[in-house]
Amino acid sequence: MKKLSILGSTGSIGVSTLDVVARNPEKFSVIGLAEGHDPVKLFEQVKKFRPKIVSLRDEDAVKKFKSLGSVDCKIVCGIEGACEVASYSDANLVVSAMVGSVGLKPTLAAIDAGKNVALANKETLVAAGPLVMKRVKEKGVKLIPIDSEHSAVFQSLIGHNHSEVRKLILTASGGPFREWTKDRLATATVEDALNHPNWSMGAKITIDSASMMNKGLEVIEARWLFDIPVDKIDVVIHPQSVIHSMVEYIDGAVMAQMAVPDMRGPIAYALAYPERVESGSEFLDLAKIGKLTFFKPDPQKFECLQLAIEAAKQGGSLPCVMNAANEVAVAAFLNKKIKFLDIPRIVSKVMSNHKRIDLSSLEDVLAADKWARAEASGSY
């Protein structure tokens, strides 16, 4: 039986992970949970799954949690609390599903403790890819992707020689704005951007999908996960979200992983790997779907994608800075302080003002992140 600690248990990935666990009680048990913004939901999860340790975001959340009733588990809080959940001795698989760069330190704590990690927090590799992969290698742990695109690539590589890969092809839904003109994007509201046609996700990830920054982050993540140059990673818009990504080989063969758009599929695969278990996803009916379509993203309309690819090519501290600036800009947009097209404007400005360095330590990452947040906050 795999014993899980779940970071970000009250978010969309965390909730879906617990749904998979509930469907397979003979395969998985829950040892630790760390929430982000919902102590009430965490309390309900604790009552159902009975973990040994839980972490909340701060002392106020702890007070709220304790006011709901008594629980038989250790209660901690803050980033250090999340790190304690991630490194808890009884867990052997950590699901990293916190949103944003806040997930970096707990994910590193899990790796340093020798835990295998099922990774949904793409910002960990975006901000600190070379440092994270170095520690993965040193500790001899597995880093198994949960993102549907990276899970698809991971599955399409199994049984094949990586030296025979010609390129990776990441698919994107195109989000709610795939048919909008750039002029129309200037009027996009928060409600428009949150209206994703295919996936149910948290607010931050949904906005990143609308701007296609999410796909840019995934390009950087794929570069590190699969040790492949950025110029061998392509992005194609696939509105049906049935093919989750592909691998093209040097003989012209293309391996694709297909499924209905439901995150429980890649979550179940990451939890059970190398086995497969019931996920709760519907089965794919290609005849009902009828057709699958593809087209290239418009670089003029989706500037964030191009900014992320440029950051990936330059490397060093620039992806970390780009990611931090985007987090600040997305939060400002969600709070209706800026327009949708201000997101790429702010990210571009912060990237242009940054003096790139090579990352040699976690302190370098945290310093670059802090600088970028302050710079982005002063840009609106």
273 and 355 housed in the same domain: yes
Residue 139 within any structural domain of the chain:
no
Residue 141 within any structural domain of the chain:
no
What are the φ and ψ backbone dihedral angles of 10, each rounded to 5 degrees? -95, -5
Residue 173 within any structural domain of the chain:
yes
Token pair in block for residue 46: 């604790």
44 and 174 housed in the same domain: no
Residue 138 within any structural domain of the chain:
no
Q: Which of 102, 121, 140 is the last residue of a domain?
A: 121
The SS3 call for residue 16 is helix
102 and 197 housed in the same domain: no
> Which residues, other chains included, contact 186 with Cβ-Cβ below 8 Å and sequence gap of 6+?
339, 340, 341
330 and 183 housed in the same domain: yes
User: Can you give the pLDDT at residue 364?
Assistant: 96
Q: Kindly give the confidence (pLDDT) of every residue in the chain, 380 residues in length, as a single tens digit, with 9 standing for 90 and above.
A: 999 999 999 999 999 999 999 999 999 999 999 997 899 999 999 999 999 999 999 999 999 999 999 999 999 999 999 999 999 999 999 999 998 888 999 999 999 999 999 999 988 999 999 999 999 999 999 999 999 999 999 999 999 999 999 999 999 998 889 889 999 999 999 999 998 777 667 788 899 999 999 999 999 999 999 999 999 999 999 999 999 999 999 999 999 999 999 999 999 999 999 999 999 999 999 999 999 999 999 999 999 999 999 999 999 999 999 999 999 999 999 999 999 999 999 999 999 999 999 999 999 999 999 999 999 999 88
User: Can you give the pLDDT at residue 123?
Assistant: 87
HEC readout, 286-341: HHHHCCCCCECCCCCCCHHHHHHHHHHHHCCCHHHHHHHHHHHHHHHHHCCCCCCC
Quick check: 30 and 2 in contact, CB under 8 A?
no
The SS3 call for residue 60 is helix
160 and 107 housed in the same domain: no
108 and 158 housed in the same domain: no
User: Can you give the pLDDT at residue 199?
Assistant: 65
User: Can you give the pLDDT at residue 188?
Assistant: 94
The total number of structural domains that make up the chain: 2
Domain that holds residue 307: 150-377
Quick check: 285 and 270 in contact, CB under 8 A?
no
Residue 88 within any structural domain of the chain:
yes
Considering the entire predicted model, what is its pTM? Answer: 0.93
Residue 129 within any structural domain of the chain:
no
Residue 142 within any structural domain of the chain:
no
User: Can you give the pLDDT at residue 200?
Assistant: 66
Residue 176 within any structural domain of the chain:
yes
The CATH number given to whatever domain includes residue 321 is 1.10.1740.10
User: Can you give the pLDDT at residue 379?
Assistant: 86
User: Can you give the pLDDT at residue 263?
Assistant: 95
The CATH number given to whatever domain includes residue 96 is 3.40.50.720
Quick check: 326 and 65 in contact, CB under 8 A?
no
200 and 337 housed in the same domain: yes
195 and 342 housed in the same domain: yes
User: Can you give the pLDDT at residue 157?
Assistant: 97
Token pair in block for residue 185: 């994007």
Name 262's bridge partners. Answer: none
Burial degree of 293 (CB within 10 A; 0-12, 13-18, 19+)? exposed
Q: Quickly tell me which residue has 């695109």 as its tokens.
A: 149
